[in-house]
Chain A
Amino acid sequence: TQLLEQSPQFLSIQEGENLTVYCNSSSVFSSLQWYRQEPGEGPVLLVTVVTGGEVKKLKRLTFQFGDARKDSSLHITAAQPGDTGLYLCAGANYGQNFVFGPGTRLSVLP
């Protein structure tokens, strides 16, 4: 069974600060996705990474896929209150269903 761990579980920071959240596993994934979910809504896809070592940027968000495709990180620069939400990573391994991590709940205070 593939498991994904995310850290930290909770994070509360002030507006303007930088932060990094991590997604780790002992398993190799063919692709990994990051989502943000707000209360009462479905997750919204932020990015998909498929190549080991890949780095993708989405405005103030930088995503990295580990060289061995077992881990990933999400870095947010100059966080804003609108970044508040539950950040979920999900990995899939060569045709198998996605496995979701437990999520990192981010709160950005104005």
Chain B
Amino acid sequence: GAVVSQHPSRVICKSGTSVKIECRSLDFQATTMFWYRQFPKQSLMLMATSNEGSKATYEQGVEKDKFLINHASLTLSTLTVTSAHPEDSSFYICSASPGTFWTSGGNNEQFFGPGTRLTVL
């Protein structure tokens, strides 16, 4: 159980175009989904947290107009990189949590998708 998928796994696009990445929880309902960015040989950097049906909460320094997040249902969240530029090239990873700290008894585990490699030319 607790499987999270991402699509696409790899995408190459031209500078100035927009790219949409989907994150789905396949066998559980995700109250909360997280989007991370990871540069080569570095740890994960949290970009934003999204709760189903409400606006995403972005971390400091993350442009909300550039990285649009939509958590339309309890099993799907999307990240759209708008007007992508080469510096946006990175490994984007989503994770999903079946609950919150308060509903999970203090054990709000998150399960990660396989990641999406974005290359902007």
Contact = CB atoms under 8 A, between A and B. Distances in A.
A42 B101 contact: no
Contact of B46 (A31, A41, A88, A97): A97
A31 B107 contact: yes
| Contact-residue bracket for chain B | 20 to 34
Interface of B: 4, 6, 34, 41-46, 49, 91, 93, 95, 100-102, 106-115, 117
A88 B43 CA distance: 8
Interface stretch (A11-19, A44-52, A60-68, A74-82): A44-52
A33 B109 contact: yes
Contacts, number: 60
Interface size of A as a range: 20 to 34
Contact of B112 (A40, A43, A97): A43
B43 A102 contact: yes
The 8 closest A-B pairs by CB, nearest first: A42-B112, A95-B101, A102-B43, A42-B115, A42-B114, A100-B44, A43-B112, A103-B43
